[in-house]
Amino acid sequence: MELYVFGEDRSLLGVIEAYEHLQWTRRYSACGGFALRAIADAHNIGMLRMGHILWKNDDAEAGIIDHIELNAQEQEYITVAGRFATGLLARRIIWQTEMLQGNLANAIAQLLANHVIAPSNPDRAILGMAFASTPLNHTLTMQVSYRNLLTTIEDLCAAYDVGLRTTFDPVTRLLTVTLYDGRLTSAVFSREFENLTEQAYTHSARGYACVALIGGEGEGELRTMVTSGTGSGLGRYEVFVDAKALRSEDFGEGYPAALIQHGDIRLKELRMARSFDATLHNQGNLRYREDFDLGDIVTAVSPRWGVSMQTRITEIEETYDAEGRHIDIVLGRGALTIAQKLKGV
């Protein structure tokens, strides 16, 4: 693996030949990130600057530096960090009200075209960005206004269990936002199979909801109210979803259905948390990027814990240091953070 650095204009500047630590975190439905620690010599300081791009020649994605630290101990070190190129979408908001109807890929293409690729205001364009997607069997009807563009797209991808990444072509210098579905594989992760060195399992109902009361336009008894989801007794977890921003004049007879879909998306965000975190054995029987990769559906088994789950790889963290490469994976969906819970209120 070689680590290349490109300037803000995406021209090649050089190679980082020596570093102490590189953490490269890939995420399925969200933007990944990285952190690099190296000796603060003239070569590294000259290349590792704000806005510069890091690209591993064994990866399709690239990271953009947005944080730099210099410190002196026995030696002087430079630490840089940032998000992958998908994070550029966080620099834009949805400037006006967008009506999203039909295929999910077309809806995201519409958002990117209007706010990044070919916006009406040329100052809002990010040059050298494109969009591509495999066919996706997901449809939606919704309205969105003034939200952060990246957050909106990440939420849609998470709700529909779709992968999101931005590939970098060092020859054409093009950044391409891409949607994809992971593979269904026969990979099985288990300490009993000696392909894991560490494992942690989480099953949590905190933040979970299965029935939504969705409030549309109107006030008091005249307010339009619909419900989404099912549940009864102790198995019924309710949540209120404020959808007053959706207007009946924009949807006509489809207004109740639009409200229900708004609630459905929120319930997908509030699914029961069930995750399996593991560290891979370097000499195990499963080969990274061949037997399994980010977004793939795999099986995790722990007979002693009574755990057997077929689920998606939602995060892979690659760590490079003096001891070599280490791979940590996250299977399934973890519990919501406070920020994620507040976001949907």
For 3-85, CATH gives 2.30.300.10
- The span from the CA of 60 to the CA of 154, in Å, is 19
Cross-strand partners of 101:
141
Give the span between the Cα atoms of 72 and 22, in whole angstroms. 19
Give the span between the Cα atoms of 66 and 29, in whole angstroms. 21
Angle at 17 between CA 19 and CA 1, to 5 degrees: 90
Q: Top-level CATH class of 184-205+272-343?
A: mainly beta
Return per-residue pLDDT of the chain as tens, 345 residues. Answer: 999 999 999 999 999 988 999 999 999 999 999 999 999 999 999 999 999 999 999 999 999 999 999 999 889 999 999 999 999 999 999 999 999 988 999 999 999 999 999 999 999 999 999 999 987 888 888 899 999 999 999 999 999 999 999 999 999 999 999 999 999 999 999 998 999 999 999 999 999 999 999 999 999 999 999 999 999 999 999 999 999 989 899 899 999 999 999 999 999 989 999 999 999 998 889 999 999 999 999 999 999 999 999 999 999 999 999 889 999 999 998 654 444 444 543
Q: Is 47 exposed, middle or buried (0-12, 13-18, 19+ CB in 10 A)?
A: buried
Q: Count of CB atoms within 10 A of residue 141's CB?
A: 19
How far separated are the first and last CA of the chain, in Å rounded?
44
Query: Under 8 Å CB-to-CB from 323, ≥6 apart: which residues?
Result: none
β partners of residue 169: 174
- To the nearest 10°, the Cα dihedral for 157, 163, 168, 174? -50
- Residue/partner pairs of 235-239 with CB below 8 Å, 24 or more apart: 235/210, 236/210, 236/211, 237/205, 237/208, 237/209, 237/210, 237/211, 238/209, 238/211, 238/212, 238/213, 239/209, 239/211, 239/212, 239/213, 239/266, 239/267, 239/270
Q: What is the CATH number of domain 88-180?
A: 3.55.50.10
The whole-number pLDDT of residue 334 equals 63
pTM of the model: 0.90
What's the pLDDT at 18? 87
Are 99 and 83 a contacting pair, CB within 8 Å?
no
Q: What six digits make up the tokens of 259?
A: 């409200």
Distance CA 61, CA 262 (A): 31
